């Protein structure tokens, strides 16, 4: 009888910890910002998929390039057809780690600064990047924010000279995701 | 009995561990799969622009976008050096198109040819797609009305109604690959009663158009309309070839055609020149789009 009770407790604990270690979202938010002498361009994607394992620190993102929305229709068309080639490379993604996940106390509310490292894939080109960010624990919900800069030429995206004053070489990317338990 | 119970507990424990210890990659792939199967992928850019050469393609302007279009047709190239191979003389059309929604656009214009005012509506009825909704073709309906305002020699005996032409077109297009699309255009024309370039006032025609993408910013197009009746008139079928060039801001469409008119009634029903006679002329469309208010989805 004693053993049975013990096993039940073990089962309960395993269930609890294993069940709550992976968090995900289907409507994360990623924006990017291009600042250039002639115009500022901002685009937003609200259908970002992300998965975070709060025990191991594994962190992944995936988004559809054609789900970015721009203030002007022409920008959206150019972005998908001329720069991202969204038919050829429909998704961009990130696969990496929150390197200091142990510093986050998921039982206690707070904003925990973290560092992220991993492979960012855009336009079919994968580069290792590092970024600073924060994990926010508030009343049992977990969200993550980060912003970092990428150079378009690192990802094989060519900007013709004729529009080089309209599109920046470095793009600021901001991420804001609020996760739910899997 | 006790042992059996224990085994059950262990089995259940193992089951739970397996279910919940999935790694994040599997979960991510599941979510991606779910998002992909729920999505409708519409065929984008079946043609590069809203016009093939003279006539409409199934492409609509995005919502709230104004397109200012200036089109020129020069004289036939075979008019020789004295006429600078046709470039010394030109007719033009100035037009304004506007996207009300991404599926409905309107436009109006004025042509030098027959001093014509024209207006059209283009409505997308079906959109080619894959994914959750499978649709093999895009279908649009385009009614056009035009008024010939040339002064008559017989001193204004014509009624306004005699000057009106109506054209109804159905555009059926399919994008076969990233680089190739084909379009059929069943067309009915009720032409004005004052132009003597057509014999029948009601003309039926079937058009075919194709586009081939040769680079990110360049397409080559062909367009042909075959008239099913009105064979007794002096008019010929229109055949045109063109190149689309996108430059980031402006769009240039450069073409060779045997038609001077740029409204449907004129180029389908009243084309006088023939390719076989060398009466081919050079022309271009310039288009510039303006976003009139912020796009909201």
Enclosing domain of residue A98: 22-181
Summarised one tens digit per residue, pLDDT across range B79-88 is 889 888 888 8
Q: Which of B248, B249, B294 to mutate to test the interface with A (most CBs of A within 10 A)?
A: B248
Handedness of CA B256, B262, B268, B274 (dihedral sign): negative
Among chain B residues, CA nearest to A69: B297
Long-range contacts of B106-110 (CB under 8 A, 24+ apart): B107/B67, B109/B69, B109/B263
The answer to whether the beta carbons of residues B174 and B138 sit under 8 Å apart is: yes
Structural domains in chain A (count): 1
Tell me which chain A residues have a C-beta less than 8 angstroms from the C-beta of B9: 4, 7-8, 11
Is the residue at A142 inside a domain?
Answer: yes
> How many CB atoms are located within 10 Å of the residue A47 CB?
16
Query: Measured between alpha carbons, how far is B107 from B97 in angstroms, rounded to an integer?
Result: 4
CATH number of the domain to which A33 belongs: 2.40.128.110
Q: What was the ipTM of the complex prediction?
A: 0.76
- Which run of H or E residues covers position A4? helix A2-19
Strand partners, A132: A115
Rounded to an integer, what distance in angstroms lies between the CA atom of residue A114 and that of residue A110? 12
Q: What is the pLDDT of residue B15?
A: 54
Interface test with B, best of A6, A8, A14 (most B CBs within 10 A): A14
* Torsion sign (Cα): B63, B65, B70, B76: negative
B295/A163 touch (CB, cutoff 8 Å), yes or no: no
Q: How far apart are CA B267 and CA B191, in angstroms?
A: 12
- For residue A16, pLDDT beyond 70: no
pLDDT tier at A11, thresholds 50, 70, 90? low
Confidence band of B297 (pLDDT split at 50, 70, 90): very low
B227, B234 in Cβ contact below 8 A?
Answer: no
A38 interfacial to chain B (CB closer than 8 Å) = no
CB contact (8 A) between residue B35 and residue A162: no
Residues 6 or more apart in contact with residue A7 via CB below 8 angstroms: B6, B9, B10, B13
CB spacing of B16 vs A14 below 8 angstroms: yes
In this prediction, residue A63 has a pLDDT band, given cuts at 50, 70 and 90, of: very high
Q: Is residue A5 part of a domain?
A: no
Q: Has residue A37 been placed in a domain?
A: yes
Average pLDDT over residues A24-46: 92
pLDDT tens by residue, B140-180: 999 999 999 888 776 667 788 889 999 999 999 999 998 99
Q: Is residue A119 part of a domain?
A: yes
Which CATH number is associated with domain B43-291?
A: 2.40.160.40
Gap from A7 CA to chain B (nearest CA, Å): 7
> What pLDDT shows up at residue A38?
84
Q: Are the C-beta atoms of B264 and B254 separated by less than 8 Å?
A: no
Domain range summary for chain B, segments of one domain joined by +: 2-35, 43-291
pLDDT at position A6:
63
Find the CB nearest B31 among A24, A64, A73: A24
Mean of per-residue pLDDT scores for chain B: 88
pLDDT digits 0-9 by tens, B210-265: 999 998 889 999 999 999 998 888 899 999 999 999 886 788 999 999 999 999 99
Q: What is the share, in percent, of chain B residues with pLDDT greater than 90?
A: 60
Contact B48, A81 (CB under 8 A): no
For residue B264, how many C-alpha atoms fall within 13 Å in the half-sphere facing its CB?
Answer: 34
Q: What is the pLDDT of residues B20-48, one digit of tens each?
A: 445 778 888 999 888 888 888 899 889 99
Whether residue A19 and residue B178 make contact (CB cut-off 8 A), yes or no, is no
Confirm whether A125 is domain-assigned: yes
């Amino acid at each position: 009888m004693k053993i049975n009770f013990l096993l039940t407790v073990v089962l309960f604990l395993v269930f609890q910890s294993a069940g709550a270690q992976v968090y995900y979202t289907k409507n994360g938010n990623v924006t990017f910002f291009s600042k250039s002498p002639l115009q500022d361009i901002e685009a937003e994607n609200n259908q970002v998929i992300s998965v975070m394992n709060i025990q191991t620190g594994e962190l992944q993102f995936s988004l559809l390039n054609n789900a970015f929305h721009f203030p002007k229709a022409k920008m959206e068309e150019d972005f998908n057809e001329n720069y991202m080639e969204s038919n050829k490379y429909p998704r961009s993604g990130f696969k990496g780690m929150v390197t200091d996940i142990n510093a986050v106390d998921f039982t206690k509310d707070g904003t925990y600064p973290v560092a992220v490292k991993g492979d960012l894939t855009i336009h079919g080109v994968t580069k290792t990047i590092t970024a600073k960010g924060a994990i926010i624990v508030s009343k049992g919900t977990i969200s993550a924010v980060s912003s970092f800069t990428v150079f378009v030429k690192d990802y094989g995206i060519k900007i013709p000279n004729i529009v080089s004053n309209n599109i920046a070489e470095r793009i600021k990317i901001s991420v804001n995701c609020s996760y739910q338990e899997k | 009995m006790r042992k059996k119970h224990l085994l059950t507990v262990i089995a259940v424990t193992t089951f739970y561990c397996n279910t919940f210890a999935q790694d994040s990659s599997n979960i991510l792939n599941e979510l991606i799969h779910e998002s992909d199967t729920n999505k409708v992928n519409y065929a984008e850019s079946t043609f590069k622009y809203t016009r093939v050469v003279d006539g409409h393609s199934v492409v609509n302007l995005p919502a709230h976008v104004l397109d200012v279009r200036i089109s020129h047709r020069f004289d036939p190239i075979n008019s020789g050096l004295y006429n600078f191979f046709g470039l010394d003389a030109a007719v033009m059309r100035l037009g304004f198109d506007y996207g009300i929604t991404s599926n409905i656009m309107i436009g109006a214009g004025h042509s030098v040819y027959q001093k014509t005012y024209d207006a059209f509506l283009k409505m997308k009825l079906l959109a080619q797609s894959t994914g959750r909704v499978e649709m093999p073709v895009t279908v649009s309906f385009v009614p056009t009305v035009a008024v010939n305002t040339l002064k008559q020699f017989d001193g204004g005996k014509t009624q306004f109604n005699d000057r009106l032409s109506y054209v109804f077109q159905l555009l059926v297009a399919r994008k076969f690959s990233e680089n190739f699309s084909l379009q059929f255009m069943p067309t009915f024309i009720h032409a004005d009663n004052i132009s003597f370039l057509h014999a029948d006032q009601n003309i039926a025609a079937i058009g075919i158009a194709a586009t081939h993408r040769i680079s990110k910013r360049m397409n080559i197009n062909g367009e042909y309309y075959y008239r099913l009746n009105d064979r007794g008139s002096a008019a010929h079928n229109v055949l045109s070839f063109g190149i689309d060039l996108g430059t980031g801001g402006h769009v240039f469409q450069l073409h060779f055609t045997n038609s001077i008119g740029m409204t449907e009634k004129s180029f389908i029903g009243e084309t006088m020149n023939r390719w076989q006679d060398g009466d081919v002329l050079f022309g271009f469309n310039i288009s510039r789009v303006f976003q009139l208010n912020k796009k909201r989805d």
